[in-house]
Structure 1
Amino acid sequence: MHGRELRGLLSPFLLLLIFERPGHGYDLIERLAAMGVSDVEPGHVYRVLRGLERDRSVTSVWETDGAGPARRCYTLTAQGRDDLRTWVAHLTYLNQVVHACVRRSAEAFDRAAGTGRHHPHVVRG
């Protein structure tokens, strides 16, 4: 999937990554890509991070260590942990619904194949 398709899910993805290990924006963008969320606009990631900070799900501090410019390092708060738990419950439900759709689609294509109709390849989950 492309970043545009997953924009609405950046909050739980970022909460999870920050829960696993605090990080700065560019680090989080790289970790999103490693998670399969590529092609995401950096500006959008930073807007979501600012929103998470406004919601008190994360905090940030300026790091000035090492060479290079200062950068914000994001850390999860207790509220952020609760928010992540809520998101995981929602994503679990969404996963069940999507899985049911994929399964039913595969069954429908199998039935259509029995009638000689052409059907695209469907991956069974």
Structure 2
Amino acid sequence: MTLIRLLKIVAAVARNRLDNLIDTERSPFWLRCLLALLPWRYFIRNDAPRGERIRLSLEALGPIFIKFGQILSTRRDLLPDDISDELSRLQDDVPPFPAEEAITIIESSL
């Protein structure tokens, strides 16, 4: 189960190219090598603003990540304005979570 969740997180990072947010010039050599080996760096392009890419990734990953984004959006002193403005959209403009899926998760945990 955790491997599937990890793969979903990696897919969201790849789809929205969040690896571009890492400053490679000040990164250690091993991290630059690792980033150069990521296959999606050569096949997936995403030129959307960084705040939008972060917001879309959090939305794709589900309610816990959306809540994390909502918490971050209230701390404007920690993030740049463009990211804070985009994360503040998670307060009102979030797609609804299916009730059937929530019921299934709750029933399976009990």
TM-score (norm 2): 0.36
Where is the strand percentage greater, Structure 1 or Structure 2?
A: 1
Q: Who wins on radius of gyration, i.e. which is larger?
A: 1
Where is the helix percentage greater, Structure 1 or Structure 2?
A: 2
TM-score (norm 1): 0.33
